[in-house]
Amino acid sequence: MKILVGVKRVVDANVKIGVKSDGTGVDLANMKMSMNPFDEIAVEEAVRLKEAGAATEVVAVSVGVAQAQETLRTALAIGADRAILVEASDGVEPLGVAKILKALVDRELPQLVILGKQAIDDDSNQTGQMLAALAGLPQATFASKLAIADGKATVAREVDGGAETLSLQLPAVVTTDLRLNEPRYVTLPNIMKAKKKPLETIKPEDLGVDITPRLKTLKVAEPPRRSAGVKMADVRALVEKLKNEAKVL
């Protein structure tokens, strides 16, 4: 069984970001970039399935600028077998990425596609769903457990008030939630090994895909600054303020 995994290069989750002064977007100059955290979970899950004998090959795909090769090398160091970079400018919209992944599904014929539930830069939470629709594949989003047996994927999903378990006929699309697994640390020997693994670079045109944007960002703004808190002398003063100033009691 072949598994295709999507990995997006995004601004590192631990760095403090700011908005460009002209309000056209987030300032990414000299920012640390990393693999989208949900995609690390996706790669980890695919590699675990391979280690358990349920999969034979893990192919990591990224759509983005040339530097996304580093993100793909990280996926290879976690344990993916080969990588495909679909080179495009940053900010390809979820529909564009889904169309590219659909073309790769047609070319690679994976039995399973694992994506993150969302990219932490655009928070779209759309690509997996769009891919499943374009490719006509069953989908299970926000997976917190995944098992493969007898040509089927069994997926547990956290829903309001409990867990839901779905059974999907493969091939299928699964998107990862935080609790699916804890990605391993990438070791130096595996980073060295990853340098020798195959990484193919293609363009969206090679797949016959048009990624012309459909959305226009009108403005990006910082959230309003919160004013400083006030320390109250005692509970009586606090209740007084909540009643008469905040008017929440």
CB of 51 to ligand AMP, least distance (A): 21
Residue closer to ligand AMP, measured from CB, 128 or 204 = 128
Residue closer to ligand AMP, measured from CB, 38 or 142 = 38
Residues 177 and 113: their CA atoms lie apart, in Å, by: 14
CB of 114 to ligand AMP, least distance (A): 8
Residues 196 and 148: their CA atoms lie apart, in Å, by: 30
CB of 67 to ligand AMP, least distance (A): 12
CA angle 71, 74, 80 (to 5 degrees): 110
Residues 54 and 2: their CA atoms lie apart, in Å, by: 9
Handedness of CA 180, 127, 65, 14 (dihedral sign): negative
CB of 130 to ligand AMP, least distance (A): 8
CA angle 144, 137, 146 (to 5 degrees): 20
Residue closer to ligand AMP, measured from CB, 87 or 228 = 87
From 158, 157, 139, select the one nearest 98 (Cα to Cα).
139
Residue closer to ligand AMP, measured from CB, 46 or 148 = 46
Residue closer to ligand AMP, measured from CB, 110 or 128 = 128
| Distance, C-alpha 140 to centroid of its chain | 15
Please say whether the beta carbons of 123 and 168 come within 8 A.
no
Residue closer to ligand AMP, measured from CB, 208 or 224 = 208
Binding site for ligand AMP (CB under 6 A): 6-8, 36, 38-39, 42, 61-64, 92, 94, 97, 115-116, 118-119, 122, 124-128
Residue closer to ligand AMP, measured from CB, 182 or 240 = 182
> Encoding tokens for residue 205?
């045109």
Please say whether the beta carbons of 31 and 17 come within 8 A.
yes
Residues 170 and 61: their CA atoms lie apart, in Å, by: 20
* DSSP 8-state code for residue 26: B
CB of 10 to ligand AMP, least distance (A): 9
CB of 80 to ligand AMP, least distance (A): 13
Tell me the residue nearest to ligand AMP as measured from the CB: 116
Residues 178 and 142: their CA atoms lie apart, in Å, by: 8
CB count within 10 Å of CB 156 equals 19
CB of 91 to ligand AMP, least distance (A): 9
